[in-house]
């Protein structure tokens, strides 16, 4: 196990997850708002962060209520592929609000109770065969690219969401996002595209 030396903000996030409380870095006015994606992943998967935790098992059962984080800059790829909770059940909620994530997010083949990236700045979110038992909030997404970048629709920066074969048990939110149908090509699935966000079809949902 690779031991992580946690920053002050990351330590605060660990404590918040264990207590089942949200951590809002805008409210704390923290000077350093960076949180490594690896810390988020380990917390979601109930994995040890330090050697002491690994030896004592103190990390087991820590994430019972989910991870709720606002106003952070998440550094590194946020990869939660094939992720499940204990005994194959859905992972607790992952609720990120107003966070900046400049690296790819990959949630393919995973199961979550709830998901939210509301108001986040991202570049790419990939989710193939993702299952979300309740709501999935993708409202208010924008690009995490630098302002000098001119990729993406209308040159406003790349911000892509790829959802293939997803099962959403509740509501799928795209508040403050304009959705426009667009055909990719004859061999690809039809996709819906937003000015800054692309969403592929082939999903099911009960909400």
Q: Write the pLDDT tens digit of every residue in 45-82.
A: 988 776 677 666 767 777 889 999 999 999 999 999 99
Q: What is the mean pLDDT of residues 181-197?
A: 38
206 shares a domain with 120? yes
Predicted confidence (pLDDT) per residue in 106-155, tens digit: 999 999 999 999 999 998 899 999 999 999 999 988 888 765 455 555 55
Out of 25-39, 147-161, 182-196, the most confident range is: 25-39
Q: What is the mean pLDDT of residues 1-13?
A: 87
Q: What integer pLDDT is reported at residue 146 of this predicted model?
A: 60
84 shares a domain with 61? no
52 shares a domain with 20? yes
List, in sequence order, every residue forming a beta bridge with 122; answer none if it has no partner: 101, 143
Q: What integer pLDDT is reported at residue 77 of this predicted model?
A: 96
Domain that holds residue 3: 1-70
Mean pLDDT, the chain, as a whole number? 80
Q: What share of the chain is helix, strand, coil (3-state, %, to 5)?
A: 15, 30, 55
188 shares a domain with 156? yes
57 shares a domain with 19? yes
| Domain finish residue from 70, 85, 103 | 70
What letters, b where the CB count within 10 A reaches 16 and e where it falls short, cover 174-187? beebeeeeeeeeee
Residue 23: pLDDT above 80?
yes
Share of the chain above pLDDT 70, in %: 75
Q: What are phi and psi of 11, to 5 degrees?
A: -65, -40
98 shares a domain with 125? yes
207 shares a domain with 190? yes
| Domain finish residue from 70, 89, 116 | 70
| Domain finish residue from 70, 93, 125 | 70
Q: What integer pLDDT is reported at residue 161 of this predicted model?
A: 84
123 shares a domain with 207? yes
Range with lowest mean pLDDT among 8-12, 40-44, 59-63, 93-97:
59-63
Number of domains in the chain: 2
């Amino acid at each position: 196990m690779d031991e992580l030396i946690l920053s002050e903000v990351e330590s605060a996030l660990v404590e918040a997850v264990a207590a089942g409380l949200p951590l809002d870095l805008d409210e704390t006015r923290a000077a350093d708002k960076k949180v490594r994606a690896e810390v988020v992943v380990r917390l979601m998967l109930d994995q040890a962060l330090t050697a002491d935790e690994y030896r004592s098992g103190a990390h087991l059962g820590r994430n019972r209520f989910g991870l709720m984080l606002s106003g952070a800059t998440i550094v590194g790829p946020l990869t939660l592929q094939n992720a499940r909770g204990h005994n194959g059940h859905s992972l607790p909620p992952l609720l990120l609000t107003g966070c900046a994530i400049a690296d790819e997010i990959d949630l393919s083949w995973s199961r979550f109770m709830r998901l939210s990236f509301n108001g986040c700045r991202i570049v790419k979110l990939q989710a193939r065969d993702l299952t979300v038992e309740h709501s999935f909030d993708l409202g208010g997404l924008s690009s995490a690219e630098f302002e000098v970048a001119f990729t993406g629709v209308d040159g406003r920066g790349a911000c892509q969401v790829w959802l293939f074969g997803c099962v959403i048990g509740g509501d799928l939110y795209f508040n403050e996002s304009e959705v426009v149908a667009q055909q990719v090509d004859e061999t690809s699935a039809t996709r819906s595209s937003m000015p800054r966000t692309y969403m592929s079809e082939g999903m099911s949902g009960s909400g």
